[in-house]
Amino acid sequence: MPAYRPPHIAASEITPRDIYISRRNFMGAAAGAGLAFAGADSAFAAPLSAKPSAFKLDETLTPKEAVTTYNNFYEFGVNKEDPAANSGDFKPTPWSVKVDGMVGKPKEFGLEELMKMSLEDRTYRMRCVEGWSMVIPWIGFPLSALLDQVEPLGSAKYVAFETVVRPEEMPGQKGFFQPLPWPYIEGLRLDEARHPLAILAVGLYGETLPNPNGAPIRLVVPWKYGFKSIKSIVKISLVEKQPETTWKNANAREYGFYSNVNPAVDHPRWSQATEQRIGEGGFFGANRRPTLPFNGYADQVASLYDGLDLKANY
């Protein structure tokens, strides 16, 4: 398998922090002025700094208000505005993530320890399986850094993830009409999980993760549809067999285990050829853009799938 080579980016090309912070403030103020509710700022969100990384994009960032108020997080309700509206009671601290299964050193990581990992700024595209997309400045660390600490055994082939279950704090997890079985579960092949692009995010836009975005810690796998990037993780297990995943269990014909972004493989009910970039264009100027294979990360990740039929393994 060819080795992954991170893109080389000259130091001169990396925007200094004070410049992007000032742009961020300007954008925030501009977006905030036109908004009735900016209730997305979680009570727990705190400033968070990280070192710059080579992973950035020459694309307009999706406004923070959009990133934090237009979400799919069914634990808080099925509508896009529900996570922002219903996550006020959710307590992302204290928190711990249990890592177990086929590992030499199983361990429960406290959030403080995870926040001390070597945090990086990672700006990624996010493509939802529903046909919309965002550009989000995450803060996080490579998932491989965590996996290295627990020393996966040779027999481990997959990584399984689990979201917290707290019906008292997550209104979508109680009541008669629950859209999905809980806990929400996801999974990756071990080589996918170890890919340098796969991160555990603990912040966005220079702050700790807001509740609607999966506080306090979530997965971000930018070449896969958004639902793969599981939120509010409490458990990570190294396993031998391909783990079950929530949406595949709900509808295997529509949502596969891989769920790599692929404009050539339509969802059975809609096309995946194009996407609507959230926050761009407004009412009359909305304009769909072409979706890129592997969400634009083909150079980095396509080799993971050499010899795999991507139409059959959607």
Partner 1 sequence: MASLPSLPRRYHKASVWALYVIGLVPAAWYFYLGLTGGLGFNPVKEFEHQLGIWALRFIIATLAITSLRDLAGINWIRYRRALGLIAFYYVLMHFSVYLTLDLRFDFGAVGGDITKRPYITIGFACLLMLIPLAVTSNNWSIRKLAQGWNRLHRLIYIIAAGGALHYVLAVKSVTLVPFIHIGLIALLLAYRAVRRPFMNWKRANNKPAKPVASQRARQNG
- The residues of the shown chain that bind partner 1, judged by CB under 8 A, are 34-36, 65-66, 69-70, 78, 80-81, 130, 132, 177, 179-180, 250, 266, 269-271, 276, 278-279, 282-284, 286-288
**What is the nearest approach in angstroms of partner 1 to the Cβ of residue 251?**
8
**What is the nearest approach in angstroms of partner 1 to the Cβ of residue 76?**
13
Token pair for 92: 């992302």
* Gyration radius of the chain over CA positions: 19
CB neighbour list of residue 196: distance below 8 Å, 6 or more residues apart: 4, 6, 142, 144, 300
Token pair for 19: 């410049």
At residue 233, φ and ψ (nearest 5 deg) are: -75, 135
**What is the nearest approach in angstroms of partner 1 to the Cβ of residue 244?**
17
Is 216 or 226 the residue whose CB approaches partner 1 more closely?
Answer: 226
Is 125 or 194 the residue whose CB approaches partner 1 more closely?
Answer: 125
Is 100 or 130 the residue whose CB approaches partner 1 more closely?
Answer: 130
Is 34 or 94 the residue whose CB approaches partner 1 more closely?
Answer: 34
Is 71 or 123 the residue whose CB approaches partner 1 more closely?
Answer: 71
**What is the nearest approach in angstroms of partner 1 to the Cβ of residue 231?**
16
Query: Which has the closest alpha carbon to 39: 72, 64, 74, 76?
Result: 64
Is 145 or 180 the residue whose CB approaches partner 1 more closely?
Answer: 180
HSE-up of residue 277 (Cα within 13 Å, Cβ side): 17
Beta strand spans in 5-81 (E): none
CB neighbour list of residue 3: distance below 8 Å, 6 or more residues apart: none
**What is the nearest approach in angstroms of partner 1 to the Cβ of residue 147?**
31
Is 284 or 306 the residue whose CB approaches partner 1 more closely?
Answer: 284
**What is the nearest approach in angstroms of partner 1 to the Cβ of residue 34?**
5
Residue with tokens 């710059």: 52
Q: What Cα–Cα distance (Å) separates residue 39 from each residue in 64, 75, 86, 172, 191? A: 12, 18, 10, 19, 38
**What is the nearest approach in angstroms of partner 1 to the Cβ of residue 188?**
22
**What is the nearest approach in angstroms of partner 1 to the Cβ of residue 233?**
22
Q: What Cα–Cα distance (Å) separates residue 67 from each residue in 31, 74, 132, 182, 204? A: 12, 16, 12, 24, 9
CB neighbour list of residue 14: distance below 8 Å, 6 or more residues apart: 52, 56
Is the bond preceding residue 152 a cis peptide, omega within 30 degrees?
no
Residue with tokens 């995010």: 201
Name the pairing type of β-strands 233-239 and 96-101: parallel
Is 66 or 221 the residue whose CB approaches partner 1 more closely?
Answer: 66
